[in-house]
Amino acid sequence: LITALVGVGIGSLGITIASGFADLSSMTPTLAVMIGLAVAIDYSLFIVSRFRHELTVTSDRAEAAGRAVGTAGSAVVFAGLTVIIALMALSVVGIPFLSVMGYAAAFTVLMAVLIAVSLLPAVLGLFGEKAFAGRVPFLNKRGSDDDTPKAGAKFVGLITRRPAIPLVAAVVVLGALALPATGLNLALPSEATSDPATSARKAYDLVDEGFGPGRNGPLVVVVDTQDADVEAPVAFGAVVGKLYENDEVVNAQIVAVNEAGDTAQILVTPRSGPTDPTTMDLVQSIRDGETELNEEFGLSYGVTGQTALEGDVSDSLQSALAPYLAVVVGLAFILLMLVFRSILVPLTATLGFLLSVLATFGATVAVFQEGWGGLIANPQPIVSFMPIILIGVVFGLAMDYQVFLVTRMREDYVHGASALEAVRSGFAHGARVVSAAAIIMISVFAAFIAEPDSLIKSIGFALAAAVFFDAFIVRMVIIPSVMALLGDKAWWLPKWLDRILPNVDVEGEKLTRELGATESAPESARV
């Protein structure tokens, strides 16, 4: 907790300094603190857990800290890299405020990683024997490995006994949760999505009732006749007439003309509201009609206004989703291949992530868009940029759990255990820390559900749900089931690829070998 607060403090200070040189959205610090606090606690917890285990092997606390940083610390670095890649890749979307949010959150994650591998060992040394002082009476005492992972060992034993059954059950559950996502509707926050108790929403509803829903989201058509073949008034009238041909236009009138008299603003009132998909269909229809008028009169025009702008942003976000996923998943896949020296392990990790994200979308749509559970008083479309942020953050966190859990399996497998034994022993040692980390992160994210802002509330809910689905269903059930079914094939890597890939040795095999050689050497040689 100490190191997490230090890391988040440094990250927040850096963001505050950056606000003097760049424009930041009001949500940027909140998102950065939300993510930074969660990963900082996770990374420190993972290293401290390994340090606690190493104390059962050696009485030298300095050596135990070194072993913990050399093994778990390496995994933390690579786990942090996956989160940073996912956040930095938000720049692929091409929307400045999202890019800045990604950079800020990535900076706090970087601080969390650096603090975990530097300040944390120093803090452990500072506390000395008191690092684990103060014990809860009913918890197991720290001892040998044999009495540590009882619950985890029993659970993974049940999972791997008939792995096909829990695998199919988990996939069916996540698939069922994902079904509401088929009705996903995206929009940007506005008066229409604000709390019904606010004055802004009350005014919005009064306008809707008295003048029709389209009055709250008028469109602006700007007509340019500088190169027109007819006089400007005739061209303006032609555009207004063309607009009235559309049944979804309630009113179209010229509201302003520039001093030169060659450019006009036409206010268009749609029949539907600003968040209605029909309105964006109208925007597209008006834009499509420009070609005909340009050929006939030589004029040109564009459609703007808050409603059109919000629709364009939503379309940009949706079109950027596929390239964003390709960049994030592609880079992380390569990174995980380096970590695990395998193709199938990164592949199953990625497919599991996609399952958890789809289930999260479904749950979020059900609660915030459809109003299930009564969590919000005004069901509304999902915020347009929430899916991108959710994918970026959750992918990084999901890979964290994958690295934390499967690294120990890889370590045991490299040290001679069979594939099934490695899955069971690795899960037994890693499940407790992953469970604790997930519960901490769920608590951090769920705390933001209490925020009055519906945007923050929905993001907090979605992140908490995603962590739950990914940690406790994907990583705890699907991954060990798949690993047990694959056996030795899980660690298969083509020989030509094995020669190309650098060996990052996250499991600390070289460290263990070097320490073993040092301990077996004569005293004079060690000196």
Residue of higher predicted confidence among 385 and 260 = 260
Fold of 219-304: Alpha-Beta Plaits (3.30.70)
Q: Which of 102-106, 113-117, 280-284, 338-342 has the lowest mean pLDDT?
A: 338-342
Which two structure tokens, joined as six digits, stand for 107? 């900076």
pLDDT at 273: 86
User: Judging by DSSP bridges, how do beta strands 249-257 and 186-187 pair with one another?
Assistant: unpaired
Binned at pLDDT 50, 70 and 90, residue 499 comes out as confident
List Cα–Cα distances, 101 to 27, 332, 333, 359, in angstroms: 8, 20, 24, 25
Distance CA 192, CA 208 (A): 10
Q: Which of 26-40, 119-133, 264-278, 413-427 has the highest mean pLDDT?
A: 264-278
Average pLDDT for the chain: 83
Is the pLDDT assigned to residue 47 strictly greater than 70?
yes
Cβ distance 437 to 42 under 8 Å? yes
Residue of higher predicted confidence among 160 and 376 = 160
**What global pTM score does this model have?**
0.77
Distance CA 112, CA 131 (A): 20
Distance CA 277, CA 43 (A): 43
* One-letter-per-residue 3-state SS of 2-54: HHHHHHHHHHHHHHHHHCCCCCCCCCHHHHHHHHHHHHHHHHHHHHHHHHHHH
pLDDT at 144: 45
For residue 222, give the 3-state DSSP assignment: strand
pLDDT at 525: 44
Cβ distance 497 to 334 under 8 Å? no
**Side by side, which strands form the sheet with 300-304?**
249-257, 263-270, 219-224, 300-304
Is the pLDDT assigned to residue 454 strictly greater than 80?
no
**275 Cβ partners below 8 Å, 6+ apart?**
185, 187, 190, 192, 193, 217, 380, 381
Residue of higher predicted confidence among 119 and 380 = 119
Binned at pLDDT 50, 70 and 90, residue 434 comes out as confident
pLDDT digits (tens, 9 = 90+) for 198-244: 788 888 889 888 988 888 889 999 999 998 888 999 999 999 999 99
Angle value at C-alpha 372, between 455 and 378, nearest 5 degrees: 45
| Average pLDDT estimate for 416-431 | 85
pLDDT at 513: 60
Binned at pLDDT 50, 70 and 90, residue 318 comes out as confident
pLDDT digits (tens, 9 = 90+) for 339-376: 788 889 888 988 888 899 899 999 999 988 888 877 77
pLDDT at 146: 46
What is the residue extent of each domain of the chain? 2-132+143-189+310-517, 219-304
pLDDT at 509: 57
Instruction: Provide the residue type at 332 as one letter.
Output: A
| Average pLDDT estimate for 127-152 | 62
Q: What percentage of residues in the chain have a pLDDT greater than 90?
A: 22
| Average pLDDT estimate for 299-321 | 85
User: Judging by DSSP bridges, how do beta strands 219-224 and 300-304 pair with one another?
Assistant: antiparallel
| Average pLDDT estimate for 132-146 | 60
Is the pLDDT assigned to residue 519 strictly greater than 60?
no
Distance CA 412, CA 425 (A): 7
Is the pLDDT assigned to residue 253 strictly greater than 70?
yes
**14 Cβ partners below 8 Å, 6+ apart?**
107, 108, 111
| Average pLDDT estimate for 25-40 | 80
Distance CA 259, CA 249 (A): 28
